Structure 1
Amino acid sequence: MGACMPQLLLNCDMGESFGAWRMGLDDQVMPWIDCASIACGYHAGDPGCMRRTVALAAAHGVRIGAHPGYPDLQGFGRRSMACSPAEVEDMLLYQIGALQAICRAEGCEVSYVKPHGALYNDMLAQPPLLEAVLRAVRLAAPGAPLMLLAGAGNPGHQALAAAAGVPLWLEGFADRAYAADGALLPRSQPGAVYHDPERILAQALQLARGEPISTNGGQSLQLQIDSLCVHGDNPESAAVIRRLRQALQGL
């Protein structure tokens, strides 16, 4: 696994409301998770939402992660953008720095960084972008781990992270379908997001136990993870989080 932790950490993407537009079930989900990945205003979120979410996380003793993305409110950060590594580094410094300031105002700090959406996928496919992300994490949140997808290609990612001096947390997804190569099935494809609570719970427990899961094509996929993501904007996922927390405590 990545940076040493006492147990598997349950994480959720949060703070993704913007102005009068509301997204996610943060109040219901926060009591049951270990880590809250909070949007930093580029793909979602705004300063008020960021501060409310930080305060909610702090009240429940939840670790706070920066969840930076491309500057794409209209596309919710799920569209790739032709940004240079220098531009990616600058936009992450901006977003992580903003959340860090809000955390300090609430008496806490950014504990890890998890890029969002298309940026999360692009950095895995493009080493120069990953190097830019690693530089930004090291500068804006020294000592904080970078959370990225467990699966194919991680030996190369580990080497880049080690060279940058940034720990890694490898992440699995309870409510997403996987392709045979360990990548997440694109959301544009049918079945990419699970909506059956029993299926979500079953895959979560398989990942937590280190057991193989089934890919979208029926292959067997083995992943070693440090953290397990359940999406708070998926009502079926949010409904199963309490059951999942109780099940994880029994492992």
Structure 2
Amino acid sequence: MLLAKGNVHDGVLREMLYAADAVTAAGSTLSFVRNRAQLPRMLSLSLSLAAGAHVRVACNYAGGRVLSTEEEYAAAGFGDAGSIDVVGCDACDRDTHCYASGTASVSMRNGLCACLCGSGGCGEACVPVGAPALPPAAGTASSVFFREGVTVRSVFVVPAGASEVTLRHVVLDGVSPVLYVPWMARDGVRIVVQNVSLRNGAVLYVMGGGALRGAVSAGSDESGPVELSVCDVEALNGALVLTGTFPRGLC
């Protein structure tokens, strides 16, 4: 599952989500909810949907207007109009707004679709693993974070404040692992996720902004632009979550 929810992309040089090579989704849901992009084209990729794959969209804005039809989403880069499932801004749909297998029910709260988690679901989207408090951002933290060729079987948090984060040939295995990549660098951050496998319920969060729980120190409630590069991510009953704020709720 790919869930991109509540992100704001104000760049004009490249689309919110860009892929140099063709992308094939099989047996998974690609869900885009309440995202905003300055360009009229939100995605730039060649997307193929194999058996069991779905593209679900709700209340996304591109080029200053809300996208409301399959044809408008196709023009914004979401693929063939016939393969896009559009949910209206006033609708509340579990399969679009939430990680469906961890969600018991959904309801509208203050104009937004809220996910009520069932057994095994945690946080705003009811993903398999909950969100711990992040450690305080260290003033002497390295600006570069690099991990390659490792297997993660527990909660792991990339130190806040890094301006360059690279995860290459990394495996997250098991229902307990969750890897959080926060961004808080005022001058922006570049995040590269390459050849990462999410197995057996593992979750990779990429999130940021001033709302990071436990990671904001005095005077550091702003974050700069983010460049995120994702290549060859394999999700086997796992989830990749992209969000502008730290997920609400603990398990």
TMscore range, shorter length: 0.3 to 0.5
Q: Higher strand proportion, which one?
A: 2
Q: Higher helix proportion, which one?
A: 1
**What TM-score comes out, normalization by structure 1 length?**
0.38
Q: Which one has more relative contact order, counting CA pairs under 8 Å at least 6 apart?
A: 1
